[in-house]
Amino acid sequence: MNMRRAGLLLLTLIFLSSCGLPIGRDLVVKNKGEVRQFESSNPLFSSIVTQFEQAGKQYSGNANFSAGHVPVNFGDTENESFEGVCFSYPDGTTEVIIKEAWWNSASQSLKESLLFHELGHCVLNRDHDNETHDANGVTYKASLMSSVIVNSGQYNSHRSGYLTELFTLNKTPLFQSLDSN
């Protein structure tokens, strides 16, 4: 590798490691010295977090599955196009931040889909998965970890398949469900 190319690579690495860009596991990685905004969750989210933990136990087969200590709260996602985000901090902590205006206008299934997606980043260390699956002339998202939220109708109709994929990475049950429609 020539010196110019090596220098450009080094500068790129320094730049990426010094700012809060979404790097790593599609998390928004915060700058050195920044700390988590919240230590506890807004109680409004507790029922969906409990559902996430119950689904994790059911689909993963791990009776001890837990969301751990990942606070979920309303706040600034720091990007207009993000309805929710998982922030990762240099001290190893994470938190989920949701836009309150979006939450207040969303259906229950969209709320669950978004929160399960963000917990997928923070708890399951999942990246975005933008694979699609065509079935009967319709294109479906092949993962709850798609960078665009799975719509209510598709999520409700194929919830078990989406949760199987979320917790086990196995897409076969989802694809079978999509193909049977």
Res 126: pLDDT:
95
Q: Which two three-digit tokens encode residue 164?
A: 């199987």
Residue 159: which domain range? 20-179
Whether 13 is covered by a domain: the verdict is: no
Res 27: pLDDT:
65
Whether 91 is covered by a domain: the verdict is: yes
Query: Average per-residue pLDDT in the chain?
Result: 86
Res 9: pLDDT:
37
Q: What is the pLDDT of residues 6-42, one digit of tens each?
A: 333 333 333 333 333 333 345 688 888 888 889 999 9
Res 20: pLDDT:
32
Q: What is the pLDDT of residues 145-181, one digit of tens each?
A: 999 999 999 999 999 999 999 999 999 999 999 999 7
E-strand spans in 19-170? 22-23, 27-29, 72-74, 84-88, 94-98, 132-135, 138-141
Whether 3 is covered by a domain: the verdict is: no
pTM of the model as a whole: 0.84
Res 35: pLDDT:
87
Whether 173 is covered by a domain: the verdict is: yes
Whether 1 is covered by a domain: the verdict is: no
Q: What is the pLDDT of residues 94-126, one digit of tens each?
A: 999 999 999 999 999 999 999 999 999 999 999
Q: What is the pLDDT of residues 32-88, one digit of tens each?
A: 888 888 999 999 999 999 999 999 999 999 999 999 999 999 999 998 889 999 999
Q: Count of domains in the chain?
A: 1
Res 72: pLDDT:
97
